[in-house]
Chain A
Amino acid sequence: MTQSLLTLSATETLAKLRKKELSATELARTTLARAAAIAPLNAYLHITETKALEQAAAADAAYAAGTAGPLAGLPLGVKDLFCTAGIKTTAASKMLEPFVPAYESTVTAKLWAAGAVNVGKLNMDEFAMGGSGENSAFGPARNPWDVNRVPGGSSSGSAAAVAAYACFGATGSDTGGSIRQPASFTGTVGIKPTYGRCSRFGMVAFASSLDQAGVFARNTADAALLLQTIAGHDANDSTSAPLAVPDWVGELKQVNLKGLKIGLPREYFIEALNPVIKAAIHAAAQRFEAQGAELVEVSLPSTPYAVAAYYIVAPAEAASNLARYDGMRYGLRVEGSGLIETYINSRTAGFGDEVKRRIMVGNYALSSGYYDAYYTKAMQVRTLIANEFDAVFKQVDVLFCPTAPSLPFKIGAKAKDPVSLYLEDAFTIPASMAGLPGLSVPCGTAAEDGVTLPIGLQMIGPRWSEGRLLQLAHAWEQLRGPFQIPFIQNY
């Protein structure tokens, strides 16, 4: 019973709640128990049981009164960089370990307004800096497919919790691939919408010009439902777009594959790409071709420079965004003799190595005398990347490519070599740099060292084309057939 309940999709679960075949409270208790049971995965940093039960009771009352919102009673997890009023929000950093915000992020406020239930706050790479989850100050989250492997990052806990059936969906944030890559590594659907589609208000900032909220789910319809709940203009975020949110759920099936032009960017099918993944992406593309779509090889020549440019722009913004963590007003404070020493002690103790590395790189890149050589140049590359995407989208409707160049790797395998880890983001960073929507949907599995691991297909579209990406991912799910993440009772 428990397993059959937890493995339902969000859409199915909401249908049962609406028909009163299931109570939100019962569902919340079952999910909370599952969240506790998967503790070895270290996906949840804190389970918000009291809050979840309150919200579930409210959902039950709303169903009884006929006033239930579109997500009423649906248990969700929240990446721990979305500020939640009265609930600890740590960004997986010692710096914010004691921090309890007095305000709610716009994204989570929209979820609760729709009736969703907050199961808890999810693990991540510290301040969203990382691609494996190993940079969490509170220990790495683990991959439900193989606990010795990383679930990807930075939204490591979100991906792991959804894949381990410990919630029906989760929020994530994607700066250079932090939703798409962990979705690929855990066999979940992850979508990063167009920059400006969701409000960043109340999201702990990493790199403001790149950060974008998005969602994880176990299928595309669920992802569409969650995304259309959190999207929309917010007067509190000057960079959020004043655009109406379409009915992505309702439009999910309105797609014609005949004549669809799918671009396969040459620069994404390189030698460093695991051949198993390459084969899986090509196979998926050919399934679309068989349905009447046209496959077009295209070129995005600046792609090889995207990672280097990203690792200037993102750290530069991060260095400035993280300056506020000085031990003066909130968060960790380690006293020293005098102001400067208190700053140094607090920041030394509060930040992990990767965060410190990026602050140093960022400050260096912005320094007088280096600014033009690094920051200005990186921004020029960013413009080139965006222009190349624009040109390609005059030729094709969508790009298909791998989400990540490799299968989920073992915990510790890349921890000593930051650059090899940075290269894991090579296929997700370009769309981030251009502000484009990207989605990862499972397209197969591969065996490695005796374990089965998921493969993600990435779809990238022009600005504001989330609807098309969701339609194509949904169409792919029909072509592909069922994709079941193994349900494991005890990790």
Chain B
Amino acid sequence: MTAPLPKGYEYVIGLEVHAQITTSSKLFSGSATTFGAEPNTQASPIDLGMPGMLPVLNSGAVDAGIKLGLAIDATIAERSVFARKNYYYPDLPKGYQISQYDQPIVQHGKLEIDLNGTRKSIAITRMHLEEDAGKSVHDLGVNVSHVDLNRAGVPLMEIVSEPDIRSPEEAGAYMKAMRTLVRWIGVCDGDMEKGNLRCDANISVRKSGEPYRTRCEIKNLNSIRHVMAAIEHEAHRQIEIYEQGGTVAQETRLWDPEKNETRTLRSKEDAHDYRYFPDPDLLPLVIEPARIEAVRATLPTLPHVLAAELGTLGLSADDIALLTSDKGYSDYFTAMLNAGADAKLSCNWLVSELFAVLNKTETPLENSPISATQLAGLVKLIQAGEISGKIGKQVFAEMLANGGEAQTLVAKLGLAQISDEGALRKACEAALAANPDAVAKFKSGNERIFGSFVGFVMKETKGQANPGLVDKLLKELLK
């Protein structure tokens, strides 16, 4: 938790998130978008900006944009316009980037964030579609730069928030919620290490109740940790300037994670004049209501809706947060419920047992050796009292190692619970007979010693005794 800002200042933060859309081809060409391919092997004449080449809009990317718009409860524009953003750089082959400017596809949305159980809604100004630039590499040799155009033309969503964010923690929570959401609805893989989700932060500070002051933009933050650290350092830098009587200059800054500081990239005077104008190669994008409805039909239950549903099942806030942080988790959990397993037990077994094992082996849930149906089978045996939780762990270990259904494994390993009252009565009698001192102590009022009789019976029955029945029988015998 970062400390509040000194001298009554508060953070004013807006985030611009760039999310790479998971389409198999580029925004305006048929080239593949596979990560890690040999440089310049995924660049067609269109991506290379060859003479006479024309862009053709990828309708899958448009659907992804509509999907995100619906997921953030935004307005989907009936008519939006692609514009050219003109500037020169060797990794920008056409000399302009096709983006959207004054008429974006999505406007007026919101995203709910979670701050240790408190929820806050952050307004989203707009989301537009644009193509990525290529990649410049400057460190492969002396006096030479290399350009890889595999990334040129890859579809991006730029999601711009209102300056509603008031702390580095909120910024972190926003990024987490956004990452979860884009993965949840399947429009972006959210991989920040690969740069598939990155963020620019607009930061200013003010004293409470003041109008907004000058902001600085910090570029290209590629981890949530960097986002939070950069915001904190930048705010302190600005406060220091104000406290020394200076003014903050509007500029674009870069975060240096090594030195823990931001530094000037370009000042307002050096800002590019991008000479935006509507791209005459593309018709305005017209989206019919029927298309929006068709996309809506593909939208899964969203994390915040699911969180509310899970709350009614008696799960803890932490568990709900965990289960709704990844659609794979919630899908797995929901599948267990659908198979008839109890909610709390399912949650415990998933979170405490399965996740522990998967974490240890760094296995993602989708590759789990135990399926949701298998785990539900195990949970159902426990909830029916057919095996104890302790036996359950043995079955779980066997299931993990060799597979199989819980019911079969229990039979195979001879772990079925002993619920034969006659047999258990004998075991209980034997337990009392073997511990006359303890029986005497119990009868003289030491009721805590009761547990030791239960333990004795369980030990003798290798844990297979029905604990409820043992409890009942011992109490009867000790009367």
Chain A residues near B (Cβ < 8 Å): 81-83, 89, 91, 96, 99, 101-103, 105, 200-205, 207-209, 235-239, 316-317, 319-320, 322-324, 326, 328-330, 339, 343, 363, 366-368, 371, 375
> Which residues of B have CB within 8 Å of A81?
52
The residue that B282 contacts in the complex, of A101, A203, A238, A330, with Cβ under 8 A, is A238
The residue that B50 contacts in the complex, of A103, A200, A237, with Cβ under 8 A, is A103
Q: A82 to B281, alpha carbons, bound, how many Å?
A: 17
Q: A203 to B51, alpha carbons, bound, how many Å?
A: 7
Interface of B is mostly: loop
> Which residues of B have CB within 8 Å of A203?
52
Q: A320 to B97, alpha carbons, bound, how many Å?
A: 10
> Which residues of B have CB within 8 Å of A238?
54-57, 281-283
Contact between A102 and B93, CB atoms less than 8 A apart:
no
> Which residues of B have CB within 8 Å of A367?
273, 275
Q: A209 to B145, alpha carbons, bound, how many Å?
A: 35
Q: A262 to B72, alpha carbons, bound, how many Å?
A: 57
Q: Considering residues B50, B88, B273, B275, which has the most beta carbons from chain A within 10 angstroms of its beta carbon?
A: B275
Q: Is B377 in contact with chain A by the CB < 8 A criterion? A: no
Q: Is B328 in contact with chain A by the CB < 8 A criterion? A: no
Contact between A201 and B54, CB atoms less than 8 A apart:
yes
> Which residues of B have CB within 8 Å of A319?
86, 275
Minimum CB distance partner of B56 in chain A: A238
Q: Is B96 in contact with chain A by the CB < 8 A criterion? A: yes
Minimum CB distance partner of B147 in chain A: A328
The residue that B51 contacts in the complex, of A89, A207, A235, A371, with Cβ under 8 A, is A89
Q: Is B45 in contact with chain A by the CB < 8 A criterion? A: yes
Q: A82 to B52, alpha carbons, bound, how many Å?
A: 8
Minimum CB distance partner of A331 in chain B: B51
Q: Name 26 interchain pairs, CB-CB below 8 A, sorted by A.
A: A83-B51, A103-B45, A103-B52, A200-B52, A201-B52, A201-B53, A202-B52, A208-B281, A209-B280, A237-B56, A238-B56, A239-B283, A320-B84, A320-B95, A322-B95, A326-B88, A326-B95, A329-B50, A329-B93, A330-B50, A339-B90, A339-B145, A366-B86, A366-B275, A366-B276, A367-B273
Contact between B57 and A101, CB atoms less than 8 A apart:
no
Minimum CB distance partner of A203 in chain B: B52
Minimum CB distance partner of A82 in chain B: B52
The residue that A205 contacts in the complex, of B51, B56, B95, with Cβ under 8 A, is B51
Q: A345 to B288, alpha carbons, bound, how many Å?
A: 48
Q: A280 to B189, alpha carbons, bound, how many Å?
A: 69
Contact between B45 and A323, CB atoms less than 8 A apart:
no
The residue that A317 contacts in the complex, of B55, B280, B282, with Cβ under 8 A, is B280
Within the complex, the shortest CB–CB distance from A94 to chain B, in Å, comes to 14
> Which residues of B have CB within 8 Å of A99?
51
Q: Is B277 in contact with chain A by the CB < 8 A criterion? A: yes
Contact between B86 and A324, CB atoms less than 8 A apart:
no
Contact between B277 and A316, CB atoms less than 8 A apart:
yes
Contact between A323 and B281, CB atoms less than 8 A apart:
no
Within the complex, the shortest CB–CB distance from B385 to chain A, in Å, comes to 65
Minimum CB distance partner of B275 in chain A: A366
Q: A371 to B275, alpha carbons, bound, how many Å?
A: 8
Chain B, 31-65, CB within 8 A of any chain A CB: 45, 48-57
> Which residues of B have CB within 8 Å of A200?
52, 54
Q: Is B94 in contact with chain A by the CB < 8 A criterion? A: yes
Q: Considering residues A99, A105, A320, A371, which has the most beta carbons from chain B within 10 angstroms of its beta carbon?
A: A320
The residue that B52 contacts in the complex, of A101, A339, A368, with Cβ under 8 A, is A101
Q: A75 to B390, alpha carbons, bound, how many Å?
A: 89
Minimum CB distance partner of A240 in chain B: B54
Q: Given known contacts A103-B52, A339-B90, what 12 new A-B pairs fall within 8 Å (CB)?
A: A99-B51, A200-B54, A201-B54, A202-B53, A236-B56, A238-B55, A317-B280, A320-B95, A323-B94, A326-B90, A328-B90, A330-B50
Minimum CB distance partner of B95 in chain A: A323
Contact between A320 and B51, CB atoms less than 8 A apart:
no
> Which residues of A have CB within 8 Å of B96?
320, 323
Scoring B residues 91 to 109 as 1 if CB is less than 8 Å from chain A, else 0, what string do you get? 0011110000000000000
Given contacts A238-B283, A239-B281, A320-B96, contact A105 B52 (CB under 8 A): yes
Within the complex, the shortest CB–CB distance from B133 to chain A, in Å, comes to 13
Minimum CB distance partner of B44 in chain A: A103
Contact between A323 and B52, CB atoms less than 8 A apart:
no
> Which residues of A have CB within 8 Å of B282?
238-239
Chain B, 60-96, CB within 8 A of any chain A CB: 84, 86, 88, 90, 93-96
Minimum CB distance partner of A202 in chain B: B52
The residue that B54 contacts in the complex, of A91, A207, A236, A326, with Cβ under 8 A, is A236
> Which residues of A have CB within 8 Å of B52?
81-83, 101, 103, 105, 200-205
Contact between A329 and B49, CB atoms less than 8 A apart:
yes
Contact between B54 and A237, CB atoms less than 8 A apart:
yes
> Which residues of A have CB within 8 Å of B84?
320
The residue that B49 contacts in the complex, of A204, A209, A317, A324, with Cβ under 8 A, is A324
Q: A207 to B93, alpha carbons, bound, how many Å?
A: 18
Contact between A235 and B95, CB atoms less than 8 A apart:
no
Q: A315 to B50, alpha carbons, bound, how many Å?
A: 20
Q: A209 to B281, alpha carbons, bound, how many Å?
A: 7
Q: Considering residues B52, B53, B90, B280, which has the most beta carbons from chain A within 10 angstroms of its beta carbon?
A: B52
